[in-house]
Amino acid sequence: MTPLLVHTYPSLVKGILIKRYKRFFADIQLDNGELITAHCANTGPMTDVCVEGQPVYLSRSDNPKRKLAYTWEMIQLGETWVGVNTNLPNQVVKNALLQGVFPDLVKNDTEVRSEVSYGQNNGSRIDFLLTHGDNSLTYIEVKNTTWNQGETALFPDTVTTRGQKHLNELMALLPAAEAIMLYFINRGDCDRFAPGDSKDNKYGQLLRQAVAKGVKVLPCRFQVTPTGIYYLGLAELQL
């Protein structure tokens, strides 16, 4: 399919990753030689992605209340830019839903809401709840995916009890509602998706169980560039 622009970056600042530490911080040397500390929104291990000495791009905020003006947006691995700002995927998916990128999910009479309470005693929040004109419901959970092995994107890249919980909650919605797990493949060099069994075998087992019960999986490919993010279509699901 023709790549669809779904997010435009503001003017970004280029640099080199010196090191990432304490999960939230990354020391970057800017192209002008200045050494700065940027905020790292991704608190996970960033397996095989956090490579020191690689080119990165940062956004800058003029908000005086922020302790760190810069946010780490992406890193270049080989010829591929990989998105590392985990605050972006949900924003991008919401824009894509509203812009008609997923016509099978959103019709003219579909209401799109985000961060909606659900589950037992409303103790959980779903990333997106779609209410259709016939009052049927679609629940969508989004997972950012950056780890790869060759051309296969993998999730998760570490044990995730939270991710396991989300799969169980999606299964509990069936058959009264449609339940979707959307994997946001935050790099353009992967055309396949598989569960990261070597990091969390239980998650992989639950994902296969969820698919067998009727949970739909959308492994969505996105190409990250210094100017914007493009939707490339669905990756091949390998279970």
User: What digits encode the pLDDT tens for the residues 134-189?
Assistant: 999 999 999 999 999 999 999 999 999 999 999 999 999 999 999 999 999 999 99
69 pLDDT higher than 80: yes
pLDDT tens per residue across span 6-39 = 999 999 999 999 999 999 999 999 999 999 999 9
48 pLDDT higher than 80: yes
Q: Where are the beta strands (DSSP E) in the chain?
A: 4-8, 13-21, 25-30, 35-39, 55-60, 70-77, 80-83, 111-118, 124-131, 137-145, 147-149, 152-155, 178-185, 192-195, 216-224, 228-234, 236-237
51 pLDDT higher than 80: yes
- Distances in Å between the Cα of 12 and the Cα atoms of 30, 183, 193, 198 are 11, 26, 29, 35
Structure tokens at 206: 């639950």
Domains of the chain, earliest start first: 4-83 (2.40.50.580), 87-237 (3.40.1350.60)
Task: State the pLDDT at residue 153.
Answer: 99
